[in-house]
Amino acid sequence: MLNELKVSHGPLAQPGFLKIEKLAKTYVADKPVFADVSFTVARGEFVCIIGHSGCGKTTVLNVLAGLDTATEGHAFMDGREIAGPSLERGVVFQSHALMPWLTVRQNIAFAVKSKWPEWKTPQINVHVEKHVDMVGLLPAIDKKPSQLSGGMKQRVGIARAFAIQPKMLLLDEPFGALDALTRGTIQDELMGIVRQTQQTVFMITHDVDEAILLSDRILLMSNGNEVNGRYVPGGLAEVVQNPLPRDRTRAQLHHFPGYYDLRNHIVDFLVSRAKAH
């Protein structure tokens, strides 16, 4: 039942590997896109963030990646404030961002060399092959991106992100451009890899079922809105704990008790409660 869902409003009190404190982003004076966003992510936790376009979720992820700066607030990972990009944080975007002139092996090796410049070629090759095998692409390891399907390119992007062994993985709708069948297959693969590696993950998605399948907790963000002639910025409206068993798969998801209550709660938020008020 809905009242059995663990829902909180505003910042979480638990200690976290990742800590976001009172984050805000403003492009137009006196009208922040979002304000006072605070949350934590525990080591090994998978957290998804959902909200309509314009709520600022991509900005939050870019701040965590070190690709953008907040107007106010701070972001800390493993006790240090995030300032600029770092190989401690692996990022996978909706577009695969592979270098087209390099093969799968070379694309991943480039990242591995950046992380461990002292490694020799044989050690790099073993490490690359291990991670390409992890996403099921060993037969294509010496192909260039132009020879790969969209789903295969995203697999390479995921393998590259895992290959640098980041402390945190940031995913910005990495499956958004894929067909439903390919998307589902890679979701299951990602779940398996995350369980195996105990990776900490922060992911943006528009897909409610994807969030329920992958995440331990789901952050619901509201959009800024005019209320009684006064602008109220967007922000973190709710944090929902996923009550379903962690060893779930896509095929069994809708059979779990509590699945439809959880899904309906999130859809109701997106349909009727996603504007700040």
Q: 10 Å Cβ neighbour count for 81?
A: 10
Average pLDDT for residues 10-39, to the nearest whole number?
82
HSE (side-chain half, CA atoms, 13 Å) at 47: 25
Give the model confidence (pLDDT) of 217-235 as tens digits: 999 999 988 888 888 999 9
Query: What pLDDT score was predicted for residue 229?
Result: 85
Give the model confidence (pLDDT) of 129-187 as tens digits: 999 998 889 999 999 999 999 889 988 999 999 999 999 999 998 887 778 778 888 88
Give the pLDDT band of residue 37 (cuts 50, 70, 90). Answer: very high
Domain 2-79+206-273: state its class: alpha beta
* 32 neighbors 233 (Cβ within 8 angstroms): yes
Give the model confidence (pLDDT) of 264-277 as tens digits: 999 999 998 888 77
How far is CA 42 from each of CA 88, 154, 264, rounded to the nearest angstrom?
A: 16, 26, 26
Domain boundaries, the chain: 2-79+206-273
Is 13 a residue whose pLDDT tops 70?
Answer: no
For tokens 């982003």, the residue is 25
Give the model confidence (pLDDT) of 67-96 as tens digits: 999 999 999 999 999 999 999 999 988 777
Entry field: residues in the chain: 277
Query: What pLDDT score was predicted for residue 228?
Result: 85
* 91 neighbors 98 (Cβ within 8 angstroms): no
Query: What pLDDT score was predicted for residue 1?
Result: 42
State the average pLDDT for the chain. Answer: 89
